[in-house]
Amino acid sequence: MIFITGPLYSGKRQYARNFCGDGDMITEVQDLAARCADLPALADDLARRYKVIIATEIGGGIVPVDEGQREARDKAGRLSCMLAERAETVVRIFCGLPMVLKGDLP
Amino acid sequence: MFTLLIGGAASGKSELAESLIIKCGALPRYYIATMQPIDDESRARIARHRAMREQKSFDTVECYTGLNNIKLPQKGAALLECVSNLAANELFCKNGAGGNTVEAVLHGVERLLCQCKHLVAVSNEVFCGGCDYEGDTLRYMKVLAEINRRLAQIADNVAEIVCGQAVYYKVSD
């Protein structure tokens, strides 16, 4: 599994199409984390089902005042760590440019 | 050896920092904790971190303000977690350094460096969520940014942490 992360609109999905069709990838998994009670199980399930998993980085910036928002971005961050752990390759996209953080590109 | 790790919320900073300390080998391990248990949320965060390092033989030293007063019993490996909390405490607590926060934190880190063989300091990336801040938040951001920059200057290694992976901007020879 390839895990791709990076800021909003950085070109993650377009880059992912180098490796698979839209059917084999899932995007915006950070949204799944917010309403998930068992993050490791979610990470296992996603890693098993998809060739490429994409998460938008949302943990930067000042800590939100709203408790729900704080929890959502903490859970998103933890899910990303778990997916990176399970991935053979981790890539971060910056302005459309990839930086490999773990493993090798296929 | 001084390593500075900076990352966003739940980016895997702590786990990586702990693993760097463990790689230092059989030295006394100190965890300098800066988060004050003021409400349920902070108590839950503290409990989570305590559980994470439970089997890793750290002695926990609590330090909410006045890092320069810390005295470590032996020269070992210390983990300072985290600079962003310490800066907020110094800036906003009654007994904090207030307008002198930058110098207080830097002086504290320098004193700490003299007392250990390895120091890993964790700080937060809070600067890429736009510029629309004012008052105390803006003041805090400016203070933390200066601390991060100046620590990065004196650190041997500096890495940004992204989903548990270290992206090094500075590596010692």
What are the residues whose beta carbons fall under 8 Å from the beta carbon of B27, sequence distance 6 or more? B75, B76, B77, B117, B118
Task: Look at residue B131 in the predicted model and tell me its pLDDT.
Answer: 82
Q: Which of A7, A61, A81 sits opposite B163 (nearest CB)?
A: A81
pLDDT per residue as tens digits for the range B94-148: 999 999 999 999 999 999 999 999 999 999 999 988 788 999 999 999 999 999 9
Tell me the ipTM for this assembly.
0.89
Neighbours of A63 (CB within 10 A): 18
The distance of B165 to chain A (nearest Cα, Å) reads 6
Structure tokens at A99: 């930086």
Q: Which contacts qualify for B104-110: CB closer than 8 Å, 24 or more apart?
A: B104/B65, B104/B66, B104/B67, B104/B68, B105/B67, B105/B147, B106/B147, B106/B150, B106/B151, B107/B67, B107/B68, B108/B66, B108/B67, B108/B68, B108/B70, B109/B67, B109/B80, B109/B83, B109/B151, B109/B154, B110/B154
**Which residues, numbered 34 to 53 in chain B, qualify as contacts with chain A under a Cβ-Cβ cut-off of 8 Å?**
41
Q: Are B86 and B65 contacting, i.e. CB atoms less than 8 angstroms apart?
A: yes
| Binary contact (B163, A75; C-beta < 8 A) | no
pLDDT per residue as tens digits for the range B138-170: 999 999 999 999 999 999 999 999 999 999 999
Residue B137: name the closest of B91, B83, B82 by CA. B91
Residues of chain B with pLDDT > 70, as a percent, come to 99
Task: Look at residue A106 in the predicted model and tell me its pLDDT.
Answer: 87
CATH architecture type of domain A2-102? 3-Layer(aba) Sandwich (3.40)
| Binary contact (A85, B41; C-beta < 8 A) | no
Q: Is the pLDDT of residue A51 over 80?
A: yes
Q: Are B14 and B52 contacting, i.e. CB atoms less than 8 angstroms apart?
A: yes
Residues of chain A with pLDDT > 70, as a percent, come to 100
Task: Look at residue B114 in the predicted model and tell me its pLDDT.
Answer: 97
In chain B, what residues touch A90 (CB-CB under 8 Å)? 163, 165
Residue of B nearest to A87 (CA): B163
Q: Is the pLDDT of residue B64 over 90?
A: yes
Neighbours of B131 (CB within 10 A): 7
Look at domain B2-170 and name its CATH class.
alpha beta
The distance of A48 to chain B (nearest Cα, Å) reads 19
Beta strands A25-26 and A2-6, pairing class: unpaired
Domain ranges of chain A: 2-102
Task: Look at residue B130 in the predicted model and tell me its pLDDT.
Answer: 79
Q: Are B17 and B133 contacting, i.e. CB atoms less than 8 angstroms apart?
A: no
Residue of B nearest to A75 (CA): B10
Q: Is the pLDDT of residue A83 over 80?
A: yes
Residue of A nearest to B166 (CA): A101
Domain ranges of chain B: 2-170
